[in-house]
Amino acid sequence: MVEIKNSLENDIFTIYVIGEVDASSSIHLDESINEATSKHKKIIVNCEQLEYISSAGLGVFMSYINDLNEKDIKMVIYGLSEKVLHVFQILGLDQLLKITNNEEEAKVIVNGI
Amino acid sequence: MSSQKNILRLFIILGVFSWLLMLGSGHLYRFGQIHHTSTEVDLFFTKAFLIAFIVVIYFFYRRNIGSQEGFNIIDLLWKVFVTGLIATVVSLSSNFLMSLLKDQEHGRNPYFLDTLYYINVGLITTFLIATFTVCKRLILYQKSKRLIRTWNVFEYGLLGSSLLFFTNLNIYSGLGWFIQSLLALLAIVLSVNLKWVAYLSFKQKWKSILLIILIGLYIGYFYTILNGYEESNGFVPVFSALKVFSINALYFFALVYCVFSVLVILFNLPTSSVFEQKIVEAVNFQRLSQSRNTGQNEDQVFEILIDSAASVSVANAAWLDILDENEDVKKTLFHKTGQREKEIILKSIKTNQVKGIKSSVPSRNIKKNRFVAEIKHEVYRSIFVIPVFIQDKQVAVLSLVKDVNDGFNKETIEIIRTFINQASISIENYRLMEEAIINERYKEELKIAKQVQDSLLPKHLSTIDGIEMSAFSKPAAEVGGDYFDTYKMSDSRIALVIGDVSGKGTSAAFHMSQMKGIFQSLVQLNISAREFIIKANNALSSCLDRTSFITTTYFIIDGKEKKFEFSRAGHCPTLYFSEKDKKVKFLEDNGLGLGILRDDQFNDFVEVNEIGYNSGDVLFLYTDGITEAKNQKHEEFGYERLMKFLEKNAFYSADYIKEEILKTLYDFCGTSNLDDDITTLIVKVK
């Protein structure tokens, strides 16, 4: 099961992904990213409490790659555990999505400094 | 059956025989009397044959009437009536004959008069015993142990008192009166058992009254006949049948029971409709509960419901609106009315007279559209409307109308409520059964899907000289998204592929079959690994849904040049054992899953690599179902364990390695039912 929380600080919209993202709970992740990309240009995905992500969950991130480029939205993922990061890497998503180690780096990227 | 008939026949013969003996011995006695040579012994035989006759007739009727199963009360009374009718007709004709010959010589012949008397005694005794047997059945209609005991006392009393006949004890003496009174008392006590009356319908009650009155008349007639003989001048029969205690008691008993029966039936007449109504309720209730077991469909249950409700409430008309999902009327069943009348009735409900009903039984099914109301209609005066719920969803509305004011009392409403509950259960059962059938069908479909998918995976791996291969694949559910395949491109080259579709189950299975099509098409073009990956991505870009992708690794094994050419598209890195280095490593090249980028940008991420191989080298291809398999402590099998496994087992054959990895994995997880699809393809260079 996954729990998803949001916060808006200045113009940065943060999505907190907590728990496990599997085939059924990936729908919630999809909904919240969809909502975020339709309203905000600066999005940070906090995955510090993401324990597991299945291929269906990865598919959700993947499906926004084109959107982000086309709409010029900056989305950064940070706080991935070693295991989860490895899953992103094997699939090659680390080459297409911006992934940082911590919030500061993520903020730097979304602010475009 | 035939033995029953034979026994009855035997009794008839015995009866006729003992009657004839009674006649013969009676005449002998008469002869002795006339010629003054008589002794008491002679009369003893006559008496004995009379008692024997009574006993035989008793057993005859006990067999004939007493043992019938599931008898009909009216039929029993009818039998007695017919027996009485025959006896009366014969008796009347004998008396007519007697009065006809009264003034003639023959008419005063004592033997002739005796014979007529014996005929009358035989007939009357037969009739009395028939009546007695029927009374016994009626009294024991709902028997208790005590009742049976009382009855037995009465029966043995009758038999015992018959024997007093031999003692010449005067029936009118003190002791005689005492014995008679005892028997009469027992007869009265037994005669109050009239439970059978309650089970007669109104019509049957009238019939019974008629039959019993006629039977009573016969009894009276026979009594006067026998009595009359004794009083008629100039003739005294050799014995008086009325002085036999049992015959006397039978007379009394039959008469008392007839009188009691008639009175009780009469008093029961006004309430018989209530009892009939209760039976109708019980029968209807049973019909509804049975519909639950026989799995009748909804319309049938609704039809039973409307019929039952209309009949128990004695409604003049009724209809049942069957609702669809949105609680709109889908269909209406009518009972003695139609759509037009229904609308008129609904319009004529006096809205100020609508009363909701508070049930005595708390129920979740009470909603405000359940009500009784007065209506202003040329025929009907009151209406009762009650909804039918199944799992809190309204599925029907039953409306009953009557031509009287306040036609629906609390009892009726409660009964209809129980009917509706029964109907709800029946329909719910039916729906559950339907669902189960549909689920069963889905299961069958999935089974077929599984068979189809199994056939998509190669049974035999095509290979070339010097290369040994073994593979295994098992989906977590019926179908899965894992794929592997091989293709022999030439005598020295084979292509092999392993793939994993994102997601699980049926949707993954569809994409897996697309992947099979793409592999089988592209591999025949004899293209490089790089081109294969690019073209596969192109093809899949238009096939996959938005969030789906497929990871794959594609290998071309060239037996002539002894090299592997491969490209990894986001798939788990292949584990490679090099015989020369005696080391295991992951082939972690860069690459993107197919379908992640659906345009030419993808091409920039494709990497191709080549490895020259030696004898003893092993390629271990797998899907993430293996590395992500968890044990009970939620630890993953992981890459480390996989490496160690291959280090240990790389020296064995491909088949052995396959068997070992499964054993190791299942041991680790503690089960062979894993959460994810698992696939492995092992290549060993000989």
Residue of B504, B505, B551 lying closest to A91 (CB–CB): B551
pLDDT of residue B67: 64
pLDDT tens, residue by residue, B47-87:
888 889 989 998 898 888 766 666 688 888 898 899 999 99
Considering the domain boundaries, does residue B208 fall inside one?
Answer: yes
Q: How confident is the model at residue B43 (pLDDT cuts 50, 70, 90)?
A: confident
Average pLDDT over residues B257-264: 92
Q: CA B576, CA B584: separation in Å to the nearest integer? A: 6
Q: What percent of chain B shows pLDDT beyond 70?
A: 93
Using a CB–CB cutoff of 8 Å, tell me whether A108 touches chain B.
no
pLDDT of residue B40: 56
Mutate to test the interface with A, among B479, B483, B502, B606 (most CBs of A within 10 A): B502
Residue B11's domain spans which residues?
2-263
Could B503 and A92 be called an inter-chain contact, meaning their C-beta atoms sit closer than 8 Å?
no
- Blockwise average pLDDT, block size 10, chain A, 113 residues: 88 93 90 92 93 92 91 93 93 93 90 78
Residue of A30, A83, A95 lying closest to B547 (CB–CB): A30
pLDDT of residue B364: 42
Taking a C-beta distance cutoff of 8 angstroms, is the pair B147, B140 a contact?
A: yes
Q: Residue B683 has what DSSP assignment?
A: E
Which among A2-6, B45-49, B403-407, B609-613 has the top mean pLDDT?
B609-613
Angstroms from A89 CA to nearest CA on chain B = 8
Q: How confident is the model at residue B295 (pLDDT cuts 50, 70, 90)?
A: low
Considering the domain boundaries, does residue B283 fall inside one?
Answer: no
Taking a C-beta distance cutoff of 8 angstroms, is the pair B646, B587 a contact?
A: no
Q: Which residues pair with B470 in a beta bridge?
A: B682
The domain tally of chain B equals: 3
Could B549 and A62 be called an inter-chain contact, meaning their C-beta atoms sit closer than 8 Å?
yes
- Specify the range with the lowest mean pLDDT, choosing from A30-34, B6-10, B555-559: B6-10
The position carrying tokens 């006990």 is B62
For residues B225 and B354, state if they share a domain.
no
Considering the domain boundaries, does residue B287 fall inside one?
Answer: no
For residues B302 and B238, state if they share a domain.
no
Q: How confident is the model at residue B424 (pLDDT cuts 50, 70, 90)?
A: confident
The domain tally of chain A equals: 1
For the domain that residue A65 is a member of, what is the CATH number?
3.30.750.24
CA angle B179, B184, B188 (to 5 degrees): 150
Considering the domain boundaries, does residue B289 fall inside one?
Answer: no
Q: How confident is the model at residue B359 (pLDDT cuts 50, 70, 90)?
A: very low
Could A59 and B548 be called an inter-chain contact, meaning their C-beta atoms sit closer than 8 Å?
yes
pLDDT of residue B624: 93
pLDDT tens, residue by residue, B201-235:
888 889 999 999 999 998 888 888 877 776 665 66
pTM over 0.80: no
Q: Is B202 left (phi over 0), alpha (psi -120 to 50) or beta?
A: alpha
For residues B178 and B228, state if they share a domain.
yes
For residues B307 and B382, state if they share a domain.
yes
Q: DSSP E strands: which ranges in chain A?
A: 2-9, 12-21, 42-46, 50-53, 74-78, 98-100
Average pLDDT over residues B39-46: 71
Angstroms from B346 CA to nearest CA on chain A = 49
Contact residues on chain B for A55, CB-CB shorter than 8 A? 500-503, 549, 551, 624
- Closest among A18, A68, A70 to A43, alpha carbons compared: A68
For residues B317 and B251, state if they share a domain.
no
pLDDT of residue B197: 85
Q: Which residues pair with B619 in a beta bridge?
A: B576, B683
Residue B474 has pLDDT above 90, yes or no: yes
Q: CA B77, CA B71: separation in Å to the nearest integer? A: 11
For the domain that residue B567 is a member of, what is the CATH number?
3.60.40.10
Considering the domain boundaries, does residue B249 fall inside one?
Answer: yes
Residue finishing a domain among B434, B465, B480: B434
For residues B497 and B393, state if they share a domain.
no
Residue A100's domain spans which residues?
2-111
In the numeric block, which tokens belong to residue B276? 């009939």
Which among B172-186, B230-244, B375-389, B578-592 has the top mean pLDDT?
B578-592
